Amino acid sequence: MALHARLAARSRSRSALSTLVASLFALGAPATPLLAQVDPPFGEPLFVRGDADVDRLVSLSDGVSILDALFLAGGPLRCADAADADDDGRVTLGDAIALFEFLFRGGAPPPLPFARCGFDTSADDLSCLESPCPAPRSFTNSLGLELTWIPPGSYRRGARFGERGNESDEYPRHTVVLTRGFYAGVTEITQRQFRRIMQFDPSTFQPPRSPENLELPVDRVYWDDAMEFCERLADLERLDYRLPTEAEWEYMCRAGTETRFWFGDALDCDDSYAGCSRWDHCEFNRYETGCQWDAFRPVATTGERNPWRLYDIHGNAVEWCIDWYGPYPRDEPELVDPTGPESGFQKVVRGNAISNIGVGRAAWRAGWNPRRLPEAPHALGFRVVVPAPDGLPADPLDDDDPADRAGDYEPTRP
């Protein structure tokens, strides 16, 4: 009873506070229009300054939430970054007053990010417990690499019974559930991008230097170097870049399909290039123009993306995963967010080698020693992923649908 009474008293106090603030400012001039703002780069935490109660509105209730937290023991703010309406690195009475002045008396709008979702560029200790801002459908990083959203979901991992070209380590087939979405590079990391971060290029295929040739996928990359690349890029951009788990890799490769390749069960020839016609080879690699039998192609030039907008998921370089290589569990029909064995001697590699079509199947898997060895890991490259930041909705809205476009805020008029 005592707790109930305290909660009721607090509710009455908050209601009275709202009424008082509204009466004090109701005669003021209407608020000025919100500022237009270009979509901000991807970052965390995403928020709109002024939306302290994270309800996708900048309104009277946001100022009241600040006063509640400061004077009525209302508990932690849901987004302190947003409550810092004057961007001075603190949440004070001045923030509530600044919001009321904007809403009721035509005062200056809060500093950016405002009007659209963005992130805090100021150095302070504030953060958000949750965010109203859906993660962007895609973003482009400082290397010019586009990363696209892969939503959470489930799929059947491994080869179907009797699948042509299947190998024993692709069984037993089982269900994988991924509870958290992530961003994936739409292309493999290129020689240009690897050079910029690592300051060297290990690639076997290093044709005469030209802007186009530097867009070939980096190859002959050791797992340790791929991991260091991710760590350096993460430090540079304050995002959690890493290699994909094996479960994430097959999930984004299949993109909702169950066939040998995302585009079907092709081909009519067998799985060695010697048994395929030139047309079959070109069709497999989805080349738009021309056809090469023994060399990489610049990324994003091999025709269609898969349904999740990924290029070269069946072609160009074989790709490292973060997991240790080992057999699939035989007594677990469903795995949730699997990360592979706890230890091992080889790391998982996935995807296509330029010399064997069968290797490109979605279910194909193998292991490779991650340590530095005299033998170079020929044709091995990688693509990167970034897990969605904590506190963001699980599945971003569709930016291509005007009715579902995220980020626009409006004040509630008194």
Where exactly are the structural domains of the chain?
A: 2-132, 138-387
**pLDDT for res 376:** 60
Tell me the C-alpha distance between 148 and 184, whole Å: 5
CB of 178 closer than 8 Å to CB of 273: no
Could you give the angle at the alpha carbon of 275 between the alpha carbons of 272 and 281, nearest 5°?
A: 75
Cα-based distances in Å from 194 to 63, 229, 380: 47, 7, 13
- pLDDT tens by residue, 202-249: 887 766 666 667 888 998 899 999 999 999 999 888 889 999 999 999
> What is the gyration radius of the CA atoms in the chain, in angstroms?
26
Cα-based distances in Å from 276 to 20, 387, 406: 80, 39, 48
Instruction: Return the CATH number of 138-387, one of 3.40.30.10, 3.90.1580.10, 3.30.360.10, 1.10.510.10.
Output: 3.90.1580.10
Dihedral sign, Cα of residue 336, residue 161, residue 325, residue 299: negative
**pLDDT for res 139:** 82
Establish whether the linkage from the previous residue to 172 is cis, with ω within 30° of 0: yes
Tell me the C-alpha distance between 354 and 336, whole Å: 32
Residues in the chain, pLDDT under 50 = 1, 3-7, 9, 27-43, 268-293, 391-394, 397-414
CB of 125 closer than 8 Å to CB of 89: yes
**pLDDT for res 11:** 57
**pLDDT for res 19:** 60
**pLDDT for res 406:** 31
**pLDDT for res 209:** 60
